Structures are given as C-alpha cells and as structure tokens.
Chain A
C-alpha cells in the first residue's frame, strides 16, 4: 500500500495498516531521537511518545503537508519537552552570536587567515576519524540550534519542512541554521588544524 492509502486505512481503524505505518517510520524517528538525546533510554521514550502521539492525533493530520514532516513535529516537541522536564542538559539555553562566531582581523587589522581544510576533512572521514568529532561538535550546540541543524542538515528536511517541524518561521530557521553551522565549523577547524597552530 502507498503511504496515502496506509494513512487513510489507519484513520479508519485498520490495525495492520497502522502497524505498517509505524514500521515505515520508526527507524527515522529513532535515528532522530538518538541524534538529539545521545542515549538509548531517552531515545526510546521519545520514540514511544512520538508514535503514541501520532496514533492519538492521526485523524487531525491534514494531508497538505508531508506525513514525515508532521511526524518530525511530534518528535521534535517530544525532544524539547524532555529537556524541560529537568533532564540533565549539558548545553543550557544560550544565544549563538554571529559577532562572536565571525573570524576577527589580526592586531594589525589584516583579514584573518582561514585555512581550507575540506580535503583534510574528507580524508579524516574516510579513515573513520571524523564522525565522532562531528557528533561531539553538534552535541555542544544549544538545543534550539541543534534541533534545526539536525533536521535540516542531518535528516535532510527542507528549510520549509524544518520550520513546520519546529514551529518557527523559515527566516528564523535559516538564522539558527547558519549560526549552528558556523559553530560546528569552528569546532571542526579547531580539530583539523589544531596541530598547525
């Protein structure tokens, strides 16, 4: 059955269709939850809460937007709520300032030297050395920025889909995404060029 048919059948109470709908999306939601929480128990909670929410509110799903985007919205809310319930959060809410993130001229006012480490990164990735570093860098992001980066760049949602999933304007998503990318880029720069300093 195609997804639209599965959704219609599920709305009508077809248990087998609902089961198939859950199976079709559970991997995606789990991957997202793990990326956000970084531990299995919290990811399980988010997975369960997401699909319980999905099933309870499926009749309200309007098929104007993509089903996966709607599901990400439920999962994103679950991630952010989990934080507010007092779960230990190593990254307290903070604003990432572009002024703080922008490379500065040197003492003589000359433009900063910006190395191009793209090829080094590719080699490090192929050697299996970079993924953990990337995860660590992303984990350092304040949650409001991390969730936008994860949805847009890791999960591959468009800016519009990401905005829908997190309940922000597209402009706000783009602003947070840019700050998040620049932050992660700086972390990678420190790692990839640290020996040369």
Chain B
C-alpha cells in the first residue's frame, strides 16, 4: 500500500507512545497499514515493553488463525436445492 493511503497519526507533542495509544493501532500495525513514522514509534515503544510485544504477536496470531479456519464445502444436495429453487423463482430455467 502506498504511504499516502496509510494512517498518519503522530503521537502527541513528540512524547513517546503510550501502551493505550499503541493498543488502539495494533490491528493497523499488524496489517501493515500504518505510516513508516508510526511504525517506528511503535517499534520504539515495543523495545522496552514486553506486554505490548506479546499482545501484538498474539493479535497477529488471532488474525492468522481466522484465515486458516476450514471452510464448510457446499453439500451436493444443497447445491441441487439451490438449482431447483432458482428454477422455480425465475422466468427462465437455468
């Protein structure tokens, strides 16, 4: 994603980022949707904050686990019922 579309929210008055401020941005951070400037602030904060490091890791893991959930395949009878349904409700049979 180009930097222009990424989120730019500098921390207040150049003060170091707080855990709360980082917490609010973590999904954008793990999705790679923050500006380089903000990512750098986050990395600086994480340098001295194990809780935030672990929270970010487990948040990313949560999103990754969602992506790996198995999908329920469509049973043949459900697909057949769909066809019958559409044939009943549309002017031309498909």
Please report A residues at the B interface, Cβ cutoff 8 Å.
Answer: 13, 15, 18-19, 22-23, 26-27, 30-31, 34-35, 40, 43-44, 47-48, 51-52, 55, 98, 102-103, 111-118, 121-122, 125, 130-131, 134-135, 138, 149, 153-154, 156, 159, 174, 177-178, 181-182, 184-185, 188-189
Q: What is the CA–CA distance of A102 and B18 in the complex, to the nearest angstrom?
A: 13
Interface size on B, residues (CB 8 A): 46
Judge if B71 is at the interface, Cβ distance under 8 Å.
Answer: yes
- Contact (Cβ within 8 A) B74 A178: no
Residue ID in chain B nearest A101 by CB atoms: B23
A114-B51, A153-B66 known; 9 new pairs, CB 8 Å cut-off, are A27-B71, A31-B72, A48-B85, A98-B24, A114-B58, A116-B58, A121-B58, A181-B27, A182-B59
> Bound complex: CA of A125 vs CA of B35, how far in Å?
33
Closest to A15 in B: B94
In the complex, the 4 A-B pairs of residues with the closest C-beta atoms, listed nearest first? A153-B66, A178-B27, A31-B71, A30-B74
Give CA–CA (A154, B66) in the complex, Å.
5
A47 lies within 8 A of B73 (CB): no
Which of B27, B67, B72, B85 is in CB contact (< 8 Å) with A156?
Answer: B67
Q: What CA separation (Å) do A122 and B65 show in the bound complex?
A: 9
A130 touching B54 in the complex, CB below 8 Å, given contacts A27-B74, A30-B78, A51-B86: no
Instruction: Output the least CB separation between A72 and chain B (Å).
Output: 14
Q: Can you pick out 6 interface pairs between chain A and chain B where the beta carbons lie within 8 Å of each other?
A: A23-B79, A52-B89, A111-B49, A178-B28, A181-B66, A184-B66
In the complex the two chains form, what is the Cα distance from A98 to B34 in whole Å? 19
Question: Which residue, of B23, B73, B94, has the highest number of chain A Cβ atoms within 10 A?
Answer: B94
User: What residues of B have a CB within 8 angstroms of the CB of A22 in the complex?
Assistant: 82-83, 86, 94
Instruction: Give the complex CA separation of A178 and B52 in angstroms.
Output: 15
B63 touching A153 by the CB < 8 A rule?
A: yes
Knowing A51-B86, A135-B69, A181-B62 touch, does A15 contact B92 (C-beta < 8 A)? yes
**Do B58 and A117 have beta carbons less than 8 Å apart?**
yes
Whether a CB of chain A sits under 8 angstroms from the CB of B68 is yes
Q: How far is the CA of A44 from the CA of B83 in the complex (A)?
A: 12
For the complex formed, measure the closest distance between the CB of B6 and the CB atoms of chain A, giving whole angstroms. 12
Residue-wise, chain B 42-60 has the 8 Å CB interface mask toward A (1 for contact) of 0000000111111101111
Indicate if the CB atoms of B82 and A47 lie closer than 8 Å: yes
Q: Is the CB of A115 within 8 A of B54?
A: yes
